[in-house]
Structure 1
Amino acid sequence: MRTSKYLLYTNKHIVHSKQCISHTLMLQAGLIRKISSGLYIWLPTGLRVLQKIKHIIRYEMNNIGGLEILFPIMQNEDLWHKSNRFNQYGKELIKLYDRNNNCFILSPTYEEIITDFAKKQINSYKKLPILLYQIQSKFRDEMRPRAGIIRSKEFIMKDAYSFHMNKNCLENTYHTMYKTYIKIFKKMQLNFHAIPASSGFIGGKYSHEFQALSKNGEDKLVFEKQKKKNTNLINEINKIYKKKNIFNQKKYIYKNFSNNIKIEHIKKIILQYPQKIIKIFLIKHNNQLIGLAIRYDHILNINKIKTIYSDHNPMMFIQKEEIKNLIHHTEKINFPIPFILDTHLMYLKNIIPIVIINNIIFPQHILNQKFKKIKIKNIITLKNQKYKKKIHINHAIEIGHIFNIGKKYSKIINFQINTQYQKKNFIYMGCYGIGVTRLIASIIEQNHDNKGIIWPINIAPFQVIIIPMNIHHCSKIKTISEKLYNQFKQKNIDVLLEDRNERKNIIFSDTNLIGIPHIIIINSNTITNNTVEYQKRINIHIKHIIHIKKIIMHIINDINNHM
């Protein structure tokens, strides 16, 4: 490609955004242009990057037997009503109507429609397992789009769905997808972490998020400082919780404490040992009682609770009178309710058997110990607390999410197949998503300097740029440049020849801004010795003088080492 025939669309005058450097650089480097809130045009340079990311994803998906399909972006509303997600998604669901007043949905995801499709096409266990995927535009009516393409109204995703006759087969595919995602993100040279996560609107038995570290990310990852490797705290907590229930601790810091102790003494203990006491909040959500457990000296973050139950339905704290009505004459709350335990309760040792429920003090035996539905989440506000010495928090961007859905959608759609023993079984499913457009922002967040983007070699819009100085005034420089340019093309190397009649500072500014990994400069000083000046974008200040006959192989070797 020649710059004189190419639309760079660079613009250094776009004001830097303090909130999101990737958004600023994508606008300045001419990758995207905004047409409305949350809506962007992908320009030629951005589209080249997008296509290379899709290529990596397709290669790895095809490598594990994935079959690519393409669904329409519009879906009929019927299946969404059947799964009850029409109401769950709320105002983020974009709806439109045809001339007959039929309602359609601009797809945010495809669980219902692909299950319905598979039900109509797969009629024998012999056709399973099968893994279908697409790379398609998705839509959500974001109230406040932010950070450019990180949170927008239209975005591109790779979504995949697997179908299985039994649970073991699904778990094997889930594990394969987990490893495949790691391969994909490593090829893009991303610094990321895979963590257990909430299944949210998708649902299912369990799920994992893939989070790329970025100070502009919306999500927060908690790490233990004592670990040599940054092991995610949530993984550790899940392991700990299987071995002990925090409500059944028997070692008390106050040895003489008993259930009959006077309330005045309890208050003194609370003031003396607030970090050893559990504080519980009872809330109502969708007419269901939910318990939230945190340390007494910590502050509940209601916004985090809303994120966990993100269906836009209101939450209300239970009043004192209601709590008293819930207490039986046995002085126990004898009904199963879901509980969310704050992650930091897992650090507690020697818990004092006092429970504070919505600011009412009770002895610990007030709680029925047979809790079944327990989630472990970070639900507090971090604010000058002692445990900050034990952990550190990094912001991150969610770039992928995989789900063990199980039978949720096959039961909704009534998708059953006869086994080899002629017994009908509901199909097991997995769901696997990658935020394709988000990946580009995440890569830029981790790879840039004050001059612009620094692309990894396998996703750069161009791998090499040739910059001939005074190409329009020196025939020898022009001849050498054209020869090198054609040789790179013959080797299938993405090369850009800078043949514009522009000032030197504009040419180098654009080159650094776009982030092309390999830079070849040809000028009158070097060609007298049959050499060129060579720079790598990642080390722009280091210059090498290389013979013209060796420069191509030098770059090819470097590309092969980083692919």
Structure 2
Amino acid sequence: MRTNQYLLYTLQSIPKNIDTSSHQLMLKAGLVRKTHSGLYTWLPNGLKVLQKIKKIIRKEMNHIQAIEICFPILQSDSLWKKSNRFYQYGKELIKIYDRNHHTFILSPTYEEMATDFIKKEIKSYKKLPVTLYQIQKKFRDEIRPRGGIIRAKEFIMKDAYSFHYDKKSLQDTYKKIYLAYERIFKKMQLKFYSVKADCGIIGGNYSHEFQAIAKNGEDKLIILKTSEKKKKIQLITKDYIIKNFFYKKKIPLKNVHQTSILHKNFIKIYIMKYENNINQKFFGYIIRGDHVLNIEKIMQKKNDVNHRKIVFPTKKEMNNIIQKIKKKIFFIPIIIDTHILYLKSLILKMKINEIYYNINFIDQTFQSIQVSNIIKSPIKKIYKIKNCIEVGHIFQIGKQYSQFIDLKILNKNKIRETVYMGCYGIGVTRLIAAIIEQHHDQKGIIWPKCVAPFELLIIPIFFHKCKKIKKISEKLYHKFKKNKIEVLLEDRNEHINVIFSDANLIGIPNIIIINNNTLKNNTVEYQERKNITKKNIIDIKNIYEFIINKIKKN
């Protein structure tokens, strides 16, 4: 391709309200153009990157025998009403009406439709397991689109749905797709973590998110390193800093400093229930934020010997406890770890069901306060909190949608059984934002070679003024093109500063610069975009093999 015949529209300045690196660079490099809030036109370079990302995803999904399919963008509201998600999604669901006043949904996801499809097509366990996937546009009426394509109203996803005759089959496929996702993101040279996560509105009881590290990401990760160099990673959701262990208490990021939950000056409280054959009893245990509760030590306490079982309260029990605490009619014996000091000024702010409770340990909320060593031996911990972008999410949904849609198949005994289901998504468009967030410098994008819009850029200095330079540039261009190298020839009649500025901005990995100074010695200059300060002078006879080896190497 020649730049003079190509839609290469770069920008030097962008609107002031655009604050994420990926959004800025996508506009400046001419990957996208905004048409409306949350809506973007994809220009040729952006489209080329999208196509390469899709190719990587397809290869890995096909490798695990997933079958590509294409569902319609429009879905009837009837299936969504069966699953109750028509109402759960609320205003994010975009609805349209046909001439017969039937209601349709611009699809945000396809669990119901995929389940209904399998119900109509598969009747026996012999046809299972099966995994279907598609790469399709999705729509959500975001109240505040942000980060460019990170959170938009229209976006592209790879979504997959697996169907199984038993739970073990679901778990096996889940593991295969988990590993496939790891391969996909590694091929794109993404730094990412996989973390256990909430299933949210999709449903199920077991899921993992894949989070790409990004300075401007809207999610957060706590990464803990112990002295044994083991890593523990916890996902911080978009609205909350951390999820505590005992009754899923959530502490809002806006009210608590983001590092405080792991800090020695912050505390964690665990409410526990002790059971035996006669009665049950509640105790509270308080430790420092950077310590770990030792269950074995608790069980060895003298006052606990008559209790056979220690468990966490149910959500209903926990809500009941909080209501009684609020009314001052319920007292919990509490044991405080010896490492906590200054008890008289210690106040815990708790949030249950959107209501805040301040618990001061010098009032009558707790009685029989004891101080004891109840933590595991402290080990040195180093933790970081990193922003990230969710690029993938996988779920073991189980029978949820199968029950809604009444999807049953005949088992080996010819008895109809409800089918197990898994769901697996990758945010294709937001992957581009994640890649740019990790691969850029002050001058522009630095594309990993597997997703770059072109493999090679040829820059002839004075292309329109020097016949020799033009002849050599054309010869090299046609040779690379003939051998199916994705090459872009810079043949615009622009100032040299504009040409090099655009070259750095669009981020093509390999660059050949042809000028009179090097041609005097029958050489050309080679630059690698990720290290543009390093210049390599290559004999013009060897430049083709040199570039081929560079491309094959990566």
Is this a same-fold pair by TM over 0.5? yes
The Cα of 1:223 is off from its aligned counterpart by: 1.1
Alignment of 1:248-259 (within 5 A): none
Gaps of at least 5 residues in structure 1 are 236-244, 248-272, 281-292, 299-316, 333-346, 366-385
Report matched runs for 1:149-160 at 5 Å: 149-160=149-160
Please give the secondary structure, in 2, of the residue aligned with 1:507.
Answer: helix
Deviation digits for residues 446-503 of structure 1, max 9, x if unmatched? 0111110000011001110011112222222212111111111122211001111111
Q: 2:465 aligns with which of 450, 466, 473?
A: 473
Whether the 8 Å contact between 1:533 and 1:543 is mirrored in structure 2 is yes
* Residues 411-461 of structure 1: per-residue CA shift (max 9 Å, x gap): 111111111221221111110000000000000000111110000011001
> Which of 494, 500, 503 lines up with 1:511 in the alignment?
503
Change (3 A) 1:484 1:164: same
C-alpha separation between the residues in 2 aligned to 1:5 and 1:403? 46
Residues 62 and 181 (structure 1 numbering): CA distance in 2 closer, same or farther, change over 3 Å? same
Counterpart of 2:544, as a letter, is I
For the 8 Å contact 2:325–2:365, the answer to whether it is kept is no
Give runs of aligned pairs for residues 89-488 of structure 1, distance below 5 A: 89-226=89-226, 229=229, 231-234=231-234, 278=269, 358-359=357-358, 361-363=364-366, 390-488=382-480
Q: Residues of 1 paired with 2:218 and 2:225: CA distance?
A: 22
Once the two structures are superposed, residues 39-97 of structure 1 have per-residue CA deviations (whole angstroms, 9 ceiling, x without a partner) of: 10001111011111111111111111111111111111111111111111111111111
Whichever residue aligns with residue 501 of structure 1, its letter is N
Contact 1:277 1:351 in 2 (8 A): no
**Letter of the structure 2 residue corresponding to residue 439 of structure 1:** L
Say whether 1:528 aligns with 2:520: yes
Contact 1:14–1:27, Cα closer than 8 Å, also in 2: yes
- 1:554 shift after superposition: 1.5
CA contact (8 A) 2:224 2:381 kept: no
Match of 2:387, SS state, is strand
For residues 294 and 461 of structure 1, what CA distance do their matches in structure 2 show? 57
Matches of 1:466 and 1:393, distance apart in 2: 42
Matches of 1:359 and 1:279, distance apart in 2: 16
Distance 2:322 2:195 in 1: 38
Tell me the alpha carbon deviations over residues 505-549 of structure 1, each in whole angstroms, 9 at most, x when there is no partner.
111111110001000011122223221110000000111111122
SS in 2 for 1:478: helix
- CA separation of 1:502 and 1:555: change in aligned 2, threshold 3 A: same
Asked whether the equivalents of residues 32 and 40 of structure 2 are also in contact (C-alpha less than 8 Å), the reply is yes
Output the CA distance in 2 between the equivalents of 1:16 and 1:512. 22
Any idea what the Cα deviations from partners look like across 1:183-206, whole Å, max 9, x if unmatched? Answer: 000000000000000000111120
Aligned CA distance change for structure 1 residues 349 and 430 (closer, same or farther; 3 Å): farther
Which deviations, in whole Å up to 9, do the C-alpha atoms of 1:284-325 show, x marking residues without a partner? xxxxxxxxx996988xxxxxxxxxxxxxxxxxx999876678
* SS of structure 1 residue aligned to 2:149: helix
Change (3 A) 1:64 1:348: farther
1:41 aligned counterpart, secondary structure: strand
Read off the aligned partner of 1:452 and give its amino acid letter.
G
Amino acid in the other structure paired with 1:513? L
How far apart, CA to CA, are the structure 2 residues paired with 1:108 and 1:348? 48
2:530 aligned residue: 538
Distance 2:452 2:99 in 1: 44
- Structure 2 CA distance, aligned partners of 1:16 and 1:561? 40
Classify 1:322/1:90 alpha carbon distance in 2 versus 1 (closer, same or farther; 3 Å): farther
Quick check: 1:275–1:295 contact (8 Å CA) kept in 2? no
Q: Give the deviation of 1:224 after TM superposition.
A: 1.3
Q: Is the 8 A contact 1:69 1:132 kept in 2?
A: yes
Summarize the Cα distance change of 1:148–1:18 in structure 2 as closer, same or farther, 3 Å threshold.
closer
The equivalent residue for 2:484 is 492
Change (3 A) 1:388 1:507: farther
Contact 2:287 2:337 in 1 (8 A): no
Paired residue type of 1:429: M
Query: Using the alignment, how far apart are the partners of 1:524 and 1:35 within structure 2?
Result: 44
AA aligned opposite 1:404: Q
Alpha-carbon distance in 1 for matches of 2:233, 2:285: 16
- Are residues 1:73 and 2:73 paired? yes
Measured in 2, the distance between the counterparts of 1:349 and 1:423 equals 60
* Corresponding letter in the other structure for 1:212: A
* Partner SS, residue 233 of structure 1: strand
In 2, distance between residues paired with 1:548 and 1:209?
A: 49
Q: Is the 8 A contact 1:274 1:295 kept in 2?
A: no
For 2:392 and 2:338, the matched residues in 1 are separated by 36
Q: In the TM superposition, what is the alpha-carbon distance from 1:225 to its structure 2 partner?
A: 4.0
TM-aligned CA distance change 1:327 to 1:411, over 3 Å: farther
Quote the offset at 1:152 in angstroms: 0.6
Number of the residue aligned with 1:35:
35
CA distance in 1, matches of 2:139, 2:465: 51
Measure, in 1, the Cα distance between the counterparts of 2:405 and 2:143.
31
SS in 2 for 1:500: coil
Is the Cα contact below 8 Å between 2:29 and 2:502 reproduced in 1?
Answer: yes
Q: CA deviation at 1:122?
A: 0.9
CA RMSD in angstroms comes to 3.3
Aligned equivalents of 1:349, 1:460: Cα separation in 2? 57
Q: Alpha-carbon deviation of 1:107?
A: 0.7
Moved more, 458-467 or 487-496: 487-496
Tell me the distance in 2 between the aligned counterparts of 1:459 and 1:542.
23
Name the residue aligned to 2:63.
Answer: 63
| Letter of the 2:133 counterpart | Y
Quote the offset at 1:101 in angstroms.
1.4
Cα distance between partner residues in 2 of 1:398 and 1:510: 30
Between the aligned partners of 1:387 and 1:97, the Cα distance in structure 2 is 61
Q: Percent identity?
A: 58
Look up the match of 1:49.
49
Q: C-alpha distance in 2, partners of 1:166/1:551?
A: 57
Work out the CA distance in 1 between the residues paired with 2:132 and 2:424: 10
Gaps of 5+ in 2: 236-244, 248-263, 272-283, 290-318, 351-356, 369-377
1:253-309 deviations in whole A, cap 9, x for unaligned? xxxxxxxxxxxxxxxxxxxx99667288xxxxxxxxxxxx996988xxxxxxxxxxx
Q: Is contact 1:355–1:364 with CA below 8 Å preserved after alignment?
A: no
Partner of 1:340: none
Cα distance change of structure 1 residues 211 and 363 upon mapping to structure 2, 3 Å threshold: same
User: How far, CA to CA, are the matches of 1:553 and 1:233 in structure 2?
Assistant: 45
Alpha-carbon separation, structure 2, partners of 1:320 and 1:231: 34
CA–CA distance in structure 2, aligned partners of residues 106 and 429 of structure 1: 23
Shift of residue 13, structure 1, vs aligned partner:
2.1
